[in-house]
Structure 1
Amino acid sequence: MHVHLVGVAGTGMGALAGLFKASGHDVSGSDVAFYPPMGPALERWGIRLMEGFDPAHLEPRPDLVVIGNVCRPSNPEARAALDGGIPTKSMPHALAELLLVFRSPLVVGGTHGKTTTSALAAWLLHEAGRDPGFLIGGLPKNFDTSFRVPGDVARGGRLPLVTGEGLARRKTPFVVEGDEYDTAFFEKTPKFWHYRPEVAILTSIEHDHIDIYPDEASYLAAFRGFVERVPEGGLIVAAAADEHVVDVVSASARAEVAWFALEGDDTHGKPPHWLAAPAEVDEAGQSFDLYAGGVYAGRAAVTIPGRHNIRNALAAAAAVAQGFGVPLSTVISALATFQGVRRRQDLLYEVRGVRVYDDFAHHPTAVDETLRALRARHTQGALFAVFEPRSATACRALHQAQYATSFDAADVIVLAPLGRPEIPEAERLDLCALAKALEARGKRALLPSSVDEIVTLLARDAAAGDTIALLSNGAFGGIYEKLRGALAR
């Protein structure tokens, strides 16, 4: 087919374009701009790119138009496709109906840990020789791209539909990071409702995406719908330490449930089938003892820091072992070679003895876990947390009180200007109040007015042996290379 994607430069849409191209289709796409890294990547993958949104981009007439959720109802190109009778789909429907069919989807959902857990599951299945396909909202360091066609496509074939017992073990796995964000302007449903999971992982549930889910009840309803869509013959791997997860899964699951936890967790009355007992931590990584059904399976090690990453590794291990029959010996061996995901505690560089990490963390829980992980890895020197509130949730006052305790592992907190100044003042995260709350907890909190000012003060104050964590879900005004140059000078 000729597939055209409107809003192609987003992370998910760009990866979907790559998947279609790798599957043998002719692919084009439009967007307002094609900034790095997605723009150059799309060109490298052979996607024909068109700048702006214009009905003329639909000539010659595509066989299918995929409309991204960045598009508003007034988008002229999306409107022309819909009004002109061209077959159109949202991104989740296109993925599910054209790429997940005849395969066994492993869908990872949850407020936190989706990207790393998805990447872990894909790597474990790859190392087990299962040739998985995947679509992940970040770049796993063990692969060249955030997507991959499944082995049956790569070999030029296509597996027949399989039904009955052993479904997941007899089809090619396809790992999908299941985002709860909405599908498209013409279908306001959560994306992960449409991915047809046969095996699902649920890592956590904590109110987020306030622009889509105005209250906690609406957010929980999205996850109930996800859990309900896992069929009776499927498997749900669920976090027993998360009270919301336990409530949602217990009330909604039709499939078999495998609970996972760390030793010492409050599991809310759910005995975990999969258990990890954290063991040793050093700058090279961490290890844990793995138990399945109360039986010791061996000591596993991962290079990525933080107790939350032991949870992520445990969830992925449980899903591929119990859901796809991967031997635990293979799982343990593959965990040790997992390199992590870019923008997830990603060591960018070390200049004059100062380590600089990049992390996507913006929700207060993610900020807290990331900083604790970096403090556990680097026990000496000061830890600078440089936080850019940029998402719709982070820029609002929803988590004002929680942010005050999220930076406890850091010594110095640098609060960048809000990324969404258009939010009404009454609803906005109060950075001045947050700085005062942090200082009341014995922290040094700074409120620079620009990225350049942040770079100047970090270059002045950071010394050899210190660690800087840049926390943002965006480009952060190009701070990464600016800081590298300033530290070198």
Structure 2
Amino acid sequence: MIKTIHLIAACGTGMGTLACILKEMGYIVSGSDQNVYPPMSDFLNEKGVQLFSGYDPSNLDHAPDLVIIGNAVTKLNVEARAVLQKRIPYLSMPQAVNKFIAKDKKIILVTGTHGKTTTSSIMAHILYAAGMDPSFMIGGILRDFNSSFRIGSGEYMVIEGDEYDTAFFDKGPKFMHYDPDITIMTGIEFDHADIFIDIDHIKRIFSAFVKKIEKDSHIIAFNDNNNLKEILGSCAASVETYGEQAQWSFSNHMQQNSKTFFDVQGPGKAVSIETNLIGRHNLFNCVACMAAANRIGVSDTSIYTALKTFSGIKRRQEIRGIKNGITVMDDFAHHPTAVRETIKAVKPFYKDGRVIAVFEPRTNTSMRNIFQDTYPDSFLDADMVCICEPGVKKKIPPEDKFSTRQLVADIERKGIDAYYFENCDAVIGFLVSKLRPGDLVLIMSNGGFDNIHIKLLEKIG
């Protein structure tokens, strides 16, 4: 009988969330990580999860009944090797999710290169607003729940399905472990250059996933993505599409103050929607969730109420503060497409000021020169751009390394003011002297960016 569970690499988003869920379910939970730092470490400590700093065989001295090993851990990790030597039972993260949380649930899985967290969050909120008491496990903090997870008694569970690899003993993507009742696929682009060779490699992974989906399952796919359309030909499950020219789409898009109004058309369906979300990409996220909700019988009234009351996700167009008429916004955007769509989405709301985009290219993909020629066009809707050297260093061959200075030069050639900075403090010093009331500072990074948001607000104030 399993009573005590230990997680190796416990401070990652997915593993930390899993640790909290297991603790809430009544298990005695501990974890270890090379970098035990806030906010996840604080969150785990608050939940009563014992944390060990650094990896060491002694972290297993309390003899856990089961160890869950995260994908950040290699087979050379001293603690993981001790697990094997001691013959302690172990699982990967998705295996544990299936065993402890999702085994009796109907899974609504959200996959794709972009929009997974937002789409998953909207879906979970719709089910909750409809009184369906859902469970969810998502890679972001939902404002309406102040949590990235929930364990409900309802039959559905929403899971954000990651294409990243599972563990050193399972190099396949995490989403291959789930058997979804409904799958929302938001599109396929190249990303995760540390594990994928090229776009064809990624398409093969998604194709394998589509082929394994049971024929009585259902897929809701973004029709405006050619890579996704290519792989759906081998699908045995039923498919509905959403997009510009698809079975589900939207029209009459209008923005008033901080609200968005639009009409959704689906098979035999026409619904007017109001939401706090902005941007074309977010409206399509809503449409995908509406198609899924319609599939399982959620009423139009419940869908309308849910989208109207959805408060969003932390780090997705999140306003961190307003000082002296200057707005500081945080967003997780890092892929060129996400950067472009995020800037385009916020631009109409700051007509009396400038949109100043601050970008830190710190992902495994953006630190390589794969998108060197693509990134400049992502900033065309910004009025000013600040590019900062990433705060993390990774071993990348010089010939493959992304050049932040080159990006600045390329943006300038397109007629937009762009500036290069070596660190966060340099960005802040520059902005304080340039900002004026009405401006939006849109800070985009998938990391903490040295707490630039709070530091900047303090300096402005």
TM exceeding 0.5: yes
Instruction: Say whether 1:273 aligns with 2:234.
Output: no
**Residues in 1 aligned to 2:235 and 2:65: alpha-carbon distance in whole angstroms:** 38
**Residues in 1 aligned to 2:341 and 2:352: alpha-carbon distance in whole angstroms:** 18
State the 1:229 CA deviation.
Answer: 2.8
Instruction: Return the match for 2:214 from 213, 231, 256.
Output: 231
Structure 2: which 5+ runs fail to align? none
Name 1:169's counterpart in structure 2: none
Alpha-carbon RMSD: 1.3
Question: For residue 252 of structure 1, what is the amino acid of its counterpart?
Answer: S
Instruction: Return the match for 1:192 from 153, 163, 175.
Output: 175
1:282–1:377: 8 Å Cα contact kept in structure 2? no
Name 1:435's counterpart in structure 2: 408
1:384–1:467: 8 Å Cα contact kept in structure 2? yes
1:96–1:196: 8 Å Cα contact kept in structure 2? no
Instruction: Return the match for 2:37 from 25, 35, 38.
Output: 35
Name 1:161's counterpart in structure 2: none
Instruction: Say whether 1:87 aligns with 2:89.
Output: yes
Q: How does 1:73-472 map to 2 (within 5 A)?
A: 73-151=75-153, 172-249=155-232, 251-261=233-243, 265=244, 267=245, 272-296=246-270, 298-322=271-295, 324-418=296-390, 419-420=392-393, 422-472=395-445
2:249–2:284: 8 Å Cα contact kept in structure 1? no
Instruction: Tell me: CA distance 1:246–1:232, structure 2 relative to 1, closer, same or farther (3 Å).
Output: same
**Residues in 2 aligned to 1:276 and 1:31: alpha-carbon distance in whole angstroms:** 45
1:181–1:191: 8 Å Cα contact kept in structure 2? yes
Question: For residue 406 of structure 1, what is the amino acid of its counterpart?
Answer: S
**Residues in 2 aligned to 1:453 and 1:274: alpha-carbon distance in whole angstroms:** 46
**Residues in 2 aligned to 1:434 and 1:47: alpha-carbon distance in whole angstroms:** 43
State the 1:487 CA deviation.
Answer: 0.8
1:29–1:47: 8 Å Cα contact kept in structure 2? yes
**Residues in 1 aligned to 2:214 and 2:297: alpha-carbon distance in whole angstroms:** 18
State the 1:63 CA deviation.
Answer: 1.4
TM-score, normalised relative to structure 1: 0.91
1:392–1:420: 8 Å Cα contact kept in structure 2? no
TM-score, normalised relative to structure 2: 0.97
Question: For residue 285 of structure 1, what is the amino acid of its counterpart?
Answer: K
1:382–1:411: 8 Å Cα contact kept in structure 2? yes
Question: For residue 376 of structure 2, what is the amino acid of its counterpart?
Answer: A
Seq. identity, %: 38
**Residues in 2 aligned to 1:434 and 1:27: alpha-carbon distance in whole angstroms:** 45
**Residues in 1 aligned to 2:394 and 2:65: alpha-carbon distance in whole angstroms:** 41
Name 1:25's counterpart in structure 2: 27
* Greater mean alpha carbon deviation, residues 87-96 or residues 285-294: 285-294
State the 1:83 CA deviation.
Answer: 2.3
Question: For residue 441 of structure 1, what is the amino acid of its counterpart?
Answer: K
State the 1:278 CA deviation.
Answer: 4.1
CA deviation map 1:50-109 (0-9, x unaligned): 222111221222111000111111111111112221110010111122211111011100
State the 1:294 CA deviation.
Answer: 4.6
1:105–1:198: 8 Å Cα contact kept in structure 2? yes
Question: For residue 208 of structure 1, what is the amino acid of its counterpart?
Answer: D
- The 3-state SS of whatever aligns with 1:313 is helix
**Residues in 1 aligned to 2:51 and 2:389: alpha-carbon distance in whole angstroms:** 33
**Residues in 1 aligned to 2:63 and 2:218: alpha-carbon distance in whole angstroms:** 41
Instruction: Return the match for 1:50 from 45, 49, 52.
Output: 52
- The 3-state SS of whatever aligns with 1:414 is strand
2:119–2:286: 8 Å Cα contact kept in structure 1? yes
State the 1:421 CA deviation.
Answer: 5.4
- The 3-state SS of whatever aligns with 1:336 is helix
Question: For residue 452 of structure 1, what is the amino acid of its counterpart?
Answer: D
State the 1:288 CA deviation.
Answer: 1.0
**Residues in 1 aligned to 2:379 and 2:210: alpha-carbon distance in whole angstroms:** 33
Question: For residue 327 of structure 1, what is the amino acid of its counterpart?
Answer: S
State the 1:277 CA deviation.
Answer: 1.3
Question: For residue 162 of structure 2, what is the amino acid of its counterpart?
Answer: D
